[in-house]
Amino acid sequence: MADSEPARPAVVPATDNGALRASHADRDQVVDALQAAAGDGRLTPEELDERLELALNAKTYAELTVLLRDLPATGTPVPGAAALASRAAAAAAANRKDLITMHYTSGHGERRGRWIVPSRMDLKVSSGHITLDFTEALITEPVLRIDAKVSSGHIVLITRPGIVVDTDNVSVRSGRVRVRAPWGEDVPVVLRIDLSGTCGSGHIVARPRHRSFWQWLRRTPPRWALTA
């Protein structure tokens, strides 16, 4: 007897509960189902990106349900077709030009929480600052290429175990570039950040998340130390 295909992850409850607030676990289940559907060839890379963004920002079950309405709960593809579709989707994803542009003269910008990490970012700071927090971000690409131009502001990358930051291609004038990764090199790499550009009198820093005051007071280890 041939092995049956594993069932898709359980998703949201019945539609009569659509007004109920969704949890992180509910959103994660829908993200898993969408990624599986893309691997089967049922969603294009562009459709996957759009639905992942909506899923991560959904507040109710109804908002999650609509993202799966045209997808089967379980898949029965022709043998071998799933692998071919998965490779095709991966190739298309590698060729698409995902780009987030953030330019600030005197203000500040940030990405925090469960945001989708693109393949490229264009960051420019004159006297403001940019913070990118990767601790809860959804990583869909193995490499993020950042082109940065810092005049007198600063860019901070908040990392976690498995994220490697390479700043060899950054030209530094009177500013400062520093990377702190205290978890060592034996942690499997989940994301490589290739940083290039210029740093004038500002600074670029990559570091883990700081402990809160109460964590420091109670001598609680940072979260990355517990999961590394």
Q: Model pTM?
A: 0.60
Percent of the chain's residues with pLDDT above 90: 32
- Provide the pLDDT for residue 96: 47
Residue 32 has, within 13 A of its CA and on its CB side, a CA count of 15
Res 9 pLDDT > 80: no
Q: Which helix (H) or strand (E) holds 124?
A: strand 120-125
**What are the pLDDT digits (tens) for 144-174?**
999 999 998 999 999 999 999 999 999 999 9
Per-residue pLDDT, averaged over 85-103, amounts to 61
Where does the pLDDT of residue 216 fall: very low under 50, low under 70, confident under 90, or very high at 90 and above?
low
Of 37 and 77, the structure prediction assigns the larger pLDDT to: 37
Per-residue pLDDT, averaged over 61-88, amounts to 63
Q: Specify the amino acid at residue 49.
A: D
- Provide the pLDDT for residue 220: 62
Rounded Cα distance between 210 and 139, Å, is 21
